[in-house]
Structure 1
């Protein structure tokens, strides 16, 4: 992954338009019109060898004649000229280009052109967006480098699309609804800059509150998930992907040439990345509105407050149809409502205030619901009524919700007049919808997004706790099959292989049982995944899908989502039935976790099938199984799109007479990390974070503990004995720069345990890790007055440059050379 030089693409100071034109209805003319219409504050240089001026600006005959090196070039010239132009731009120093031109239709000609463009750009680190891109828009800069018909308003939403036509349509749709953008990017064929690169960039862009994606296929699953997981930890990432049906997938393949992949696997990838998937363009923008406003949602159930029975019933229908639940009102809440409601209304959910409900009744009733115990969400519906002014009702509801950490959604029905009346709710940060259906769908989106965020925080270990498989036996069996030139193991080898991981094969049936089929195979983009479903089931809803690695928690969630086992909390389920369902789910989750461990441990294992898999009172057992093997070198892509928690990097040491565990940081370390920061004295905090403010916001705490082990590593030292057992005493982290050759390190030791050698231990471990990972260099920035850190860096073999008057010293270590003995 790389965001190298994307500033030149998305924050240019000058733009050259190659193929600029005054010819009516030409792409070159549309590009110039939009650039000038947008009010771009930088230089705009048209390039056209046949014109002295274009759109009133001086034109230049070629790239060589440009007065300066443009940050960004927009190319709309004939396809045959593109490689020469890209090379000329790159050699002059241009670092980004948007290729509007389409590639030839003949596959061999198209492939040759794509490669020629890359060959011209890559030696100079020039980035290419496209070809066949509609362009990009950054409203805050006045930059409209596209040929879209509608201008984009300024706002906080980023829209990234693999379809130029859909990009243009979305801009039209958004303009009619006063929706603004931080940027709009049409990826085109994405031969260089792809969705992952843009997501990576936008993840740290303060102007972007939410990232919306339209995708037709994903080529590099690990890169895409790594970027999406990093971005979605800080802001909503919402995706609309075509190809849900077989016919749609075939149409997408004909359109893009890319394999859309298994849609159920993509769904699983979205959940593990903490994203939200929606079904329509309207849902994209509605979900962005909801998730950037209704961010405090914790409950999964809904209370509906309405002045009209019909809209309330519609809301219940949508909620129940999607598997949602209404909240049960507690007796004290019902008692409060009873004195507020008309005699014809019962204090039940939905709460019907009656058609004559005024602002006072709305406000008091909402206050009663918000003060009820629990953390369920509330939807307030208002239908036009002569009994009360809609704006006064909105003001009363906004007042009741003020200063309450409770998730509230509103539906103000009645068209344009209602939209204006609901403004007090929007001003209070409450999301407002036009219909009950849209409001309930928004609620369901928030529930789904929260669950996906929980999946994002899971970091399955590379080695299961309290489980000791016989790896040596398994490895010997798999390698024996390969040595003998077989593509699969024998029946006896399969039995022994599964047995080495605690998976029983061939046990006799024991009464009541649930029979399922399990298969582990590889997706072209997202690597290994497991599919569990009823034997012979073809329906999407009948399968539990999970990307590997899986732990017990993730496996259990996938089983529940697929409905393979009745949920133990299902309303009305007898205690015995609930207990049996819980037992079945636990047995299946354990089976999936052990299968995941087996496959993750052994690169030779290509495919595993257990059919049937029987679940009964004694647990889960495989009745028949098949294992396919292949040399690790035969893998065409990444085996795992998500790297497991690297438990093998844990290291127990003795330091100063105490037992200390050095290990990678985990998501569940957030609390301990907060205490670690709190225990660090202000001077030490400043030397680490270059700031006097000794605190980290909750979002930053999450980013420090929920890391992607593909792109970052953080080791913490935790005491294993004494009064501070389990607490973090120090940390060292390294973030890999775009390009994958350089990492930057930072280190912090808790103030009360300094000068005991922990800093040396931590930095040495990070150096060893970075060297083993194939990185070329490790660098660090140090405040010049931090003499202890400068001395430590030099002791570890680093060169430290302290320039006179410089604000920071730079430490550098060449990892390709052997380090000093520390």
Structure 2
């Protein structure tokens, strides 16, 4: 449902409180008092059959007794009564309900599920149950049992925990930090994080969003909403339960490494969210985001009257991965003219302990004018030689002058050590983020830097995959389906080798031997060439071979191989008498003395689906725990980011006499594993360990693959288990426009930036104006990235490419709304290709996609003068009407039925 009717939740015209009570200390009494004191302009109706009025407000016995249905119903009644109240609210036409009541249970057969189903039948949106409530200061709404209302502001808080929400409201009141809304989701049977993210992403009164997460239910919905929201404003998230242990033991190393919190970390990173780890850090982020917009750059200048605290700030900045700014020569000259000779002449800019207000102002002004820094941290240590409040006022006035004259004001952060309420009030009035310590301030600065870096990552154009990478999907599917049909869980080593080969992942050759003599024969070519071999037990019931003595390495002769095989088979029979023994595998020992031992694989998370794992490999992989995770699909840029987040990435570069490893080959394997996960949802775990990388490339020395039948939602739609919807290859088409012209049409990919740039050069200024409603001169990276970086869960763009030349001929796009009911389209063709039928074919394909996605209608805006487009829309069955807000526009709409 997403944002459907949420406007009535956060800005209702009328409210009913079921369970209102005059009894002091009761939930109904507290909620009614909060509703009344918040200044709500509309009617508030208490509902309680035992009272005629409460607090002077006329009371009704039941919701159906009201003369007009309320927009919002707040429920503070006993648990058993809640489903019937929800039913009644939906039947009379209420739009939303907040179920504050706890104790409704969970899952099938519970009161909560009963309430959810009844609400869904009537289109009634539910918040809760078991929640603090909802507060929206600008609407005068406090439908909660919080001790105090929040101040009005531009932070939206979405919390699964009522206690955390209440705590942040109290903290905000103490620090003069306000909120556009506070939502306590509770058990989130209906309204969830995805719904609220979509709503507040579009809310012009919200500048940043804070999330407190305990669990996510609908992963794809959350990821899609989070990615959209983080592109428009900062989203900060804190998640509890970071060290909770999994309920089951993992069967592979990759499964063991992919712990629940690590997957959440990967999801937050992929969505461009800023993750914090405790409430102090969340408060610091709220402090910063409430007063400072994100800014480009990461170079921090530090201005202080105390050298020691300045050095501590530098230490914390470096610890956090920040960058200390240089002080430009011109700025040093300017500071020489206003500071004593003993100033530090570098960053931190130490203006000495007797610095007064004038010295602070002149120094800060010089740093604000210095292009060598991106932000400034101003520190003050109280001394008896100068007034700290006067220095704070000087900083405020300097910043205000800078803001008045600068096109893009440089951010300033402040720390006034000690108790200086006057300084704090001055900073708050000026909207300057201020902190208790230099560590908190640096943390706040880095929050903004990290968020900006996350946005830059979302806008990156990935390197292209090799054109010759074309996995043999049919062969891979045949392997996996055979194993599933036979009821097996694990692929045998020969099947694993064939599966890796289908995706062009290099691996060591492997042979099956059922007897010692067969093992000796398989080993003969390798040992006679001077190599050595490994023999390993082969059994569907023995996963960890070394645990039962089922591995023998570095065998140098046929005789040694035969003897080792006899011993391995005997040990397996003795230690695992019930195991089915197929035989042994024989593999050549891979000798790469300067190779790095890595691990790569696929794990499966119950919430987010497939996860790609990379890190340091070997037998002690879990002990070393040097790993990083990413949600597929991956491109080469995302693979690079995944690799760079591990410690082992540092030794992939050259050092001493060890040449650099082929990092491109490592990244390519990760992308191939991502594609394998998309193609084969039956693969539940894939573990390549060790995975060796050196200057000559990569090779999988040992690998294991676990599979399971696909059922339920995972079987109903392509890539249903992916939290991020992958490239929809099934929508690729070849179209014959004429006998002479064939066009290849496919969904747009992130790496299409150069294709679009070349295309725009062949579109006239007039056609660009008709498409974008204004002249377009600057085709910047960010402009093109908005066209090529798609969330396929809610948008599509089809690009038409000339089959002979590879040149882009045109594109059509459709972006679905948050409710996935309506889609807005746009189309643009190369100016020299009009009249060949391409626009018609692209529009038809776009309409086919909208129908397949279940959209109810498609619409768009067309300039009144664009008669060609209006005529095509008419022929396609679109309804055409005037735009009531702009006489130069027409609105076209096609109902899809």
Range of TM-score over shorter length:
0.7 to 0.9
Cα shift at 1:800: 2.5
Partner of 2:412: 409
Which segment is superposed worse, 332-341 or 54-63?
332-341
In the TM superposition, what are the counterparts of 1:210-359 in structure 2 within 5 Å?
A: 210-246=208-244, 262-291=260-289, 294-295=292-293, 297-327=295-325, 342-358=340-356
State whether structure 2 residue 628 is matched by structure 1 residue 544.
yes
Which whole-Å CA distance do the structure 2 matches of 1:25 and 1:542 have between them? 52
Q: Which runs of 5+ in 1 are unaligned?
A: 251-259, 569-574, 816-822
Map 1:501-520 to 2 at 5 A: 501-506=503-508, 508-520=590-602
Q: Residue 45 of structure 2 aligns to a residue in which SS?
A: strand
Match of 2:252 in 1: none
Aligned to 1:598, the other structure's residue is in SS state: helix
1:709 equivalent to 2:792? Answer yes
Aligned to 1:714, the other structure's residue is in SS state strand
1:237 offset after TM fit, Å? 0.7
Q: Which residue of 2 aligns with 1:814?
A: 896
Aligned residue pair count: 791
Pair 172,261 (structure 1): closer, same or farther in 2 beyond 3 Å: farther
Contact kept, 8 Å, 2:661 with 2:696, in 1: the verdict is: no
Check the 8 A contact 1:521/1:529 in 2, yes or no. yes
Verify: 1:800 aligned to 2:884, yes or no: no
Counterpart secondary structure, 1:467: coil
| C-alpha distance after superposition, 1:369-410 (max 9, x if no partner) | 556665654433233353474022443466567527575432
1:509–1:450 distance in 2 versus 1, CA, 3 Å? farther
Where structure 2 has 5 or more consecutive residues not aligned to the other structure, the ranges are 249-257, 509-588
Q: Say whether the 8 Å CA contact 1:47–1:60 is kept in structure 2.
A: yes
Shift in alpha-carbon separation, 1:611–1:420, aligned structure 2, 3 A: same
Q: Is the 8 A contact 2:768 2:774 kept in 1?
A: no
| SS of 1:633 mapped into structure 2 | coil
Q: Distance in 2 between matches of 1:216 and 1:3?
A: 22
CA distance in 2 between counterparts of 1:158 and 1:678 reads: 44
Query: How much is the aligned-residue C-alpha RMSD, in angstroms?
Result: 4.0
Distance in 2 of aligned mates of 1:634 and 1:90: 30
Counterpart residue number, 2:640: 556
Q: 1:66 to 1:525 in 2, by over 3 A?
A: same
TM-score for the superposition, normalised by structure 2: 0.79
For 1:554 and 1:633, how far apart are their aligned partners in 2?
29
Q: Give runs of aligned pairs for residues 360-439 of structure 1, distance below 5 A.
A: 361-362=359-360, 365-366=363-364, 369=367, 377-385=375-383, 386-387=385-386, 389-390=390-391, 391-396=393-398, 399=401, 403=406, 405=408, 407-414=410-417, 417=420, 420=423, 423=426, 427=430, 431-439=433-441
The two structures have a TM-score, normalised by structure 1, of 0.85
Does residue 12 of the first structure (1) align with residue 12 of the second (2)? yes
Once residues 612 and 424 of structure 1 are traced to their aligned partners in structure 2, the CA distance between those partners, rounded to angstroms, is 56
CA distance in 2, matches of 1:350, 1:206: 38
Deviation for aligned residue 1:55:
1.5
Distance 1:559 1:803, change over 3 A: closer
Q: 1:331-730 alignment to 2 at 5 Å?
A: 342-358=340-356, 361-362=359-360, 365-366=363-364, 369=367, 377-385=375-383, 386-387=385-386, 389-390=390-391, 391-396=393-398, 399=401, 403=406, 405=408, 407-414=410-417, 417=420, 420=423, 423=426, 427=430, 431-457=433-459, 465-506=467-508, 508-534=590-616, 535=618, 536-538=620-622, 542-566=626-650, 576-577=654-655, 583=661, 585-633=663-711, 638-646=720-728, 649=731, 662-666=745-749, 685=769, 705-717=788-800, 730=810
Change in Cα spacing, 1:33 to 1:560, as seen in structure 2 (3 Å) is same
Report deviation, 1:556.
1.8
Q: Aligned ranges for residues 185-204 of structure 1 at < 5 Å?
A: 185-204=183-202
Q: Contact (CA 8 Å) 1:682, 1:694: kept in 2 or not?
A: no
Larger Cα Rg: Structure 1 or Structure 2?
Answer: 2
Partner in structure 1 of residue 121 of structure 2 = 123
Q: 8 Å contact 1:362–1:397 — kept in the other structure?
A: no
Post-superposition offset of 1:200: 1.0
Instruction: Give the C-alpha shift of residue 285 in structure 1.
Output: 4.0
Question: What's the CA shift for 1:697?
Answer: 12
Could you give the per-residue CA deviations for residues 476-534 of structure 1, whole angstroms, max 9, x where no partner exists?
A: 22223233332222211211211222222227121123223333111111111122233
CA distance, structure 2, for counterparts of residue 764 and residue 18 of structure 1: 51
1:19-98 alignment runs, 5 A limit: 19-98=19-98
Provide the secondary structure at the position in 1 that maps to 2:634.
coil
- From the superposition, tell whether residues 291 and 655 of structure 1 become closer, same or farther in structure 2 (CA, over 3 Å): farther
